[in-house]
Amino acid sequence: MSHLIAPSILTADFGNLQRDVEMINKSEADWIHVDVMDGMFVPNISFGFPVVTAVKKHATKPLDVHLMIVDPDRYLARFKDAGADSITVHYETCPHLHRTIQAIKELGIRASVAINPHTPVALLEDIVADLDMVLIMSVNPGFGAQHFIEHTYKKLADIKAMKRRYNTELVIEVDGGVDEHNIARLVEAGADMLVAGNSVFSQVDKIGAIAKLKNA
């Protein structure tokens, strides 16, 4: 399958969010990535249920909701009701990860786990068979427009081997510093879905930037 592109609205123009969502609708993007931050797990605050609901109202592409928050179990159903088609929780915030993943699946949406740059892929071995997606963070979470961490390629090789062994349907997603210069190598290393923020929204021709990433 061709790789998937999920523009991150964290770097969109919040004053013209409907316009930017409609731009993504018209583009070759596959998903819309929605970063939810609580100022506790990461040193930034983004948005919550009302904004997700507003985005869903205008989006024709599914919402890939990434919860960078503590105690995500409290909010899974509310984010699903707000419009999430996929929910990603962080390994680092879930002491009972199997229970959390099952709770997401019971909501009838895609269940995903993210790991920070310092978290070894090996820690996912006991959960990967139950997942729809794994998100490899290639920057430290919390802010857009950060520099890509090169060790990500090694982590992709590790999760790709785990995918072959335990779950061939697993989607491998990469988030952070993705651009036209590294996307081909990321796909070759095993990435199935690429989150693109600054590399899309900093461009004058945003639809063209998405097309370039999609066809890299």
DSSP collapsed to 3 states, 2-26:
CCEEEEEHHHCCHHHHHHHHHHHHH
Are the beta carbons of 88 and 72 closer than 8 angstroms? no
Catalytic residue selected from 35, 38, 64, 192:
35
* Helix (H) or strand (E) run with residue 37 in it: strand 32-37
> How far, in Å, CA of 146 to CA of 128, rounded?
28
Is 126 tagged catalytic? Answer: no
Is 35 tagged catalytic? Answer: yes
* Helix (H) or strand (E) run with residue 139 in it: none
Catalytic residue selected from 30, 64, 175, 179:
175
Output the CA torsion 74→51→136→189 (10° steps). Answer: 150
Distance of CA 208 to the CA centre of its chain: 21
> How far, in Å, CA of 107 to CA of 103, rounded?
7
Q: Which residues are catalytic?
A: 35, 175
